[in-house]
Chains A and B, each alone.
Chain A
Amino acid sequence: MEEARRMIISEAAKCTYCGFCEAVCPTARLGPHRGYGPRGRLAVAAHLASGGAASPEALASIYSCLTCRACTLKCPQGIDVAEVVKAARSLYVSGLARPRVSFTVKPRR
């Protein structure tokens, strides 16, 4: 788990926040906020991996990803967001990201 945590933080640190990934992400336009897109997910994953609280919207961000990797094709840094998302999910199910809260993945429309 320590390795997953380190991987998340180092991958998220590569993100320049250009947002080009959001143009191709199938969920980015459907969600209620930027957390439903790749650059948002990377930052949310880093937040969780650094000990930030697992809030409902943060978890919805991580669990709304389809892990389709369309974003990686657009990313100037070649970040594999799907792998980061999977690692963040593993932190949560293993109980390392707390607290346990109920959350809903909800499209805006």
Chain B
Amino acid sequence: MGAAEDLARILGRDKVVAEEAIVRLYSREPSGLAAGELPEAVVFPESAGDASRLMAYAYRHGVRVYPQGSTTSLSGSSVPEGGVVVSMERMDSVREVSVVDSIAVAEAGVRIDELNALLAGRGYMFPVDPASASVATVGGAVNSGAGGMRGAKYGTMRDWVLGLQVVLADRDGTVMRVGCRTVKCRQGYDLVRLIVGSEGTLALVTEAVLRITPLPENVVTALAFFPGLGELAGAAVAVKEAGVQPYIMEFMDEETTRAAAEFTGAGFEAEGAMLLVSVDVNREATERAARWLSETMRRAGAASVYTARSMGEAEEKGLFAVRRAFLPAQGYVAERRGMRRHMVYIEDVAVPPSRLVEAVEEISRLGDEYGLLHFMGGHIGDGNLHPSVVFDPSSPGEAERVEEWFLEVMKVAIRLGGTVSSEHGIGTLKKKGLEMELEALGAGKALGIMAEIKRAFDPKGILNPGKVV
């Protein structure tokens, strides 16, 4: 008998789906990658007990297990290859919110925006905000080590996960809690942080103890357009040198800004490279901060500046719309150019913010050299860049050129003291990049150590095999 039939018997028929049309829905991700070999079934645990029975079965029978949240991954980390997919979507309860302890305990399938809607009622938030937060899940964010627009101020998942409940890939499908419910926690080796960002390769995450933080009293925003990247970077430096840690600081180069403004039909002049800066303030400081932001942008050479004195006003004026159009605008340009089919490849390197202009210029030059339709934007506050290319995968030689470009972009990041993956993960797409980065650091042994850790957690190699190491 097959795993699908066995698991249906063990867990209940309604928790296992083996119809091809549905299994296919769990076999691809937005990176454009898809399974070569279709999984046998999708399994939907509804409790840690279900997850435990599943893992015990998988261990005993050597069945590969591919955990998934909402499959918004861009690195190949959620693509299965045979085996069974474990979708955590039915484990979607927020178990506890404690303002006094500053924690929320959420099951893996809770969407980040749903958690934030709940927390907002208490005046709190979970600050990690990947662009996909409307559907991205807590479990997926834990596994991918997600970041977001607020990264420069608040960091990424590794800074906000205090504890985890996981199921191990062993004979009993052991359910294990690691970490604490307190910020201070010295529990020997830090297994929580090892599992955060492990892309489902070490243990099946079923629940997380997350830190939460008060919502800012008010947020002031400036959207500024600069004649060149040099002036734009100067503005970002001026903000930092003034001792201000922005809530959000995002940029896009001139051509990407033009495409995004056209796509959104922005009601203001969007000429030049775009810088979007939001600063959290006390309500009484609103006016002063807004004026200061506007003046700082102008002094750095901004040709036009638009400000908003609250998040509501920023939304009404469409100040975030241009930045949000970063991705859809690329599809729009591809269609207008008459590309029959197109794929968007998004890079995720980071460099120290002081090297950002160099990185942007080099990466743009690479895009031209390779003759690709390329775009550039990212989180200037933390140096995380999302250069991307739009291409037609059916056009001969195009995919190979993109792959070469991809490698060259990672080399630029490494050379400038950066990293090949900031928040999207390694998956299958960045394994080569990870190797290059570790070699450049003189950490050739690190990969071997990682492989040993993988074996300690998952001796049979059944958890999301083929990813990371």
Contact = CB atoms under 8 A, between A and B. Distances in A.
Given A52-B21, A55-B20, A34 B26 contact: yes
Given A13-B341, A17-B30, A33 B44 contact: yes
A33 B42 CA distance: 9
A20 B134 contact: yes
A43 B113 CA distance: 25
A22 B327 CA distance: 18
A55 B22 CA distance: 9
Nearest to A106: B14
B22 A18 contact: no
B21 A58 contact: yes
B70 A47 contact: no
Contacts of A33: 17, 22, 25, 42, 44, 87, 89
Classify chain B's interface size. 20 to 34
Nearest to B21: A58
A57 B26 CA distance: 14
Contacts of B111: 23
B24 interface: yes
Contacts of B230: none
Interface residues of A, number: 31
Nearest to A48: B21
Q: In this complex, which of A17, A43, A44 has the most chain B Cβ atoms within 10 angstroms of its Cβ?
A: A17
A54 to B, nearest CB: 9
A105 to B, nearest CB: 14
A94 interface: no
Interface in B18-57: 19-22, 24-26, 28-30, 32, 42, 44
B20 A52 contact: yes
A49 B202 CA distance: 39
A76 B30 contact: no
Contacts of B70: 19, 22
B71 A55 contact: no
B321 to A, nearest CB: 13
A58 B134 CA distance: 25
B24 A43 contact: yes
A61 B90 contact: no
Contacts of B134: 20, 23, 74
B331 interface: yes
Contacts of A77: 328, 331
A107 to B, nearest CB: 12
Interface of B: 14, 17, 19-22, 24-26, 28-30, 32, 42, 44, 70-72, 87, 89-90, 92, 111, 113, 132, 134-135, 327-328, 331, 341, 344
20 contacts: A16-B32, A17-B29, A18-B72, A19-B71, A20-B134, A23-B111, A32-B17, A33-B42, A33-B89, A34-B87, A43-B24, A44-B25, A55-B19, A55-B20, A57-B17, A57-B21, A58-B19, A58-B21, A61-B22, A108-B90
Given A19-B132, A47-B20, 7 more contacts: A20-B134, A32-B14, A40-B25, A44-B25, A55-B21, A61-B21, A108-B90
